[in-house]
Structure 1
Amino acid sequence: MKKSFIDTRQHLLDIGLELMARSGFSAVGLSQILAKANVPKGSFYHYFTSKEQFANTVLAAYFDAYLQEMDQHLAHANTPQGLMPYFEHWYDSYGQECQQQRCLVVKLSAEVADLSDDMRLTLVNGSQAIIDKLEHALLAQQADLQPQAMRLANHLYQLWLGASLLTKLQRSKQPLDLALIQTQQWLSQWQRPCH
């Protein structure tokens, strides 16, 4: 039985995510993607106009899935400390060797920023969507502190993105350990009533 359009397209995206998370964008050739996916070159161009457009679609799908998973972690965040399961999950996921393609943003951000404006913008928009979700969760606690919530959400994301990069560079969980401690402190302070 022949694979459907959606199945083949999704299969290519899954393979692309796996390979790019492991090796980056530039190091993964189209022939490598096609060989691993067992899809002919002509079929690839039926779904995607170029490797860049394919990679951009991989990134967009990655963020869609990530944001849905993030919603699950934040669904019961009734207090600022309720955000900790999200960051603990980040700690567990990024502290390993790119398990489940968690480090795709860390892996590709610096690499594609100068190669592809479309991919750069997808990374910018996806990262901003993550920050917006953090801000929304903080505002659920203290709705009158919108500017502070926006700043804290940005600080948290930057802290964790930087810690993930350093963890990858140093091959040590120490940057993530420090990020977890700092996050607990910031969220504890956020929880205190302001007078």
Structure 2
Amino acid sequence: MTNATNSTRQTILDTAQLIVSRKGFSAVGLNEILQAADVPKGSFYHYFHSKDAFGVVLLDTYFDQYLKGMEQLFQQPGLPWAARLMRYWHTWIDNQTGCTDAGKCLAVKLGAEVSDLSEPMRLSLQRGTTRTIALLAEALQHGIQDGSLAVQQHPESLARRLYALWLGTSVMSKITRTSAPFDEALLLTRQLLGCPEPADATPTETIDRGTGK
């Protein structure tokens, strides 16, 4: 793939992520994406075989970028792992409650919508969330080892539980249009982690997904 082709393809993906984060997948037409990306309408199938295949690439690319952002956040030097994990949850809140669509999580936005409509996209979501949970479990294990976390559950089990908690919390925040569900999720997360109050006192950062956030 040439540099020009790769650049055009990435432009389509970056533009689509912003639109899909706001409107969902089914409600967005290809013409809308291509017009916003300033790409000729007839060129879409040069880069993607179908809208379904495009959705898989969109999700795979999103999770690749998301996980890079998680790794960068967790690699912050000089912080106990409890503080790094609480920073991650605060970043999640910032992304979900921000004024722009750039930081919105596609797992939250598309999980329920496309899982019943597209098996390939469901599998992409499963791959991405599995990788996210594995990285959380690794961070939890580091926290146990450095003594900043006091957890009773196996790291992998706890990581799955926490990720499910925060996915559900994001949906409830959309339903209620308040931040109250996130306040409750933070409290429960601290309890599950045995995390002292000062651990979340560090400034939060937005996870960069390569879309100008």
TM-score normalized with structure 1 length: 0.88
Kindly provide the amino acid, as one letter, of the partner of residue 28 in structure 2: V
SS of structure 2 residue aligned to 1:49:
coil
Q: Is residue 2:6 matched to residue 1:6? A: yes
Q: Is residue 2:145 matched to residue 1:158? A: no
- Spell out the pairing of 1:126-141 with structure 2 (5 A cutoff): 126-141=128-143
Q: CA deviation at 1:147?
A: 6.3
Paired-residue identity, %: 43
Count of aligned pairs: 187
Kindly provide the amino acid, as one letter, of the partner of residue 38 in structure 1: D
Kindly provide the amino acid, as one letter, of the partner of residue 61 in structure 1: T
Give, in whole Å, the separation in 2 of the partners of 1:146 and 1:53: 42
Give, in whole Å, the separation in 2 of the partners of 1:130 and 1:121: 14
- 1:84-119 CA-to-partner distances (Å, cap 9, x unmatched) read 111111111112356414232111111101111110
CA RMSD of aligned residues (A): 2.1
TM-score normalized with structure 2 length: 0.81
CA contact 1:48–1:54 (8 Å) conserved in 2:
yes
Q: Where does structure 1 differ by over 4 angstroms across 4 or more consecutive aligned residues?
A: none
Q: Could you tell which deviates more after superposition, 155-164 or 99-108?
A: 99-108
Unaligned runs of 5+ in 2: 146-150, 197-213
- 1:17-74 CA-to-partner distances (Å, cap 9, x unmatched) read 1111111111001111121112123311111101111111111111011000001121
Q: Could you tell which deviates more after superposition, 178-187 or 76-85?
A: 76-85
**Alignment correspondent of 2:86:** 84
**Higher RCO structure, 1 or 2 (CA under 8 Å, sep 6+):** 2
Q: Which has the higher helix share?
A: 1
How has the CA–CA distance of structure 1 residues 107 and 120 changed in structure 2, closer, same or farther, with 3 Å as cutoff? same
How has the CA–CA distance of structure 1 residues 48 and 133 changed in structure 2, closer, same or farther, with 3 Å as cutoff? same
**Alignment correspondent of 1:125:** 127
Q: Is residue 2:101 matched to residue 1:95? A: no
Q: Is residue 2:32 matched to residue 1:26? A: no
- 1:127-170 CA-to-partner distances (Å, cap 9, x unmatched) read 11111001011112336x99611111111101111100111111
SS of structure 2 residue aligned to 1:21:
helix
Unaligned runs of 5+ in 1: 191-195
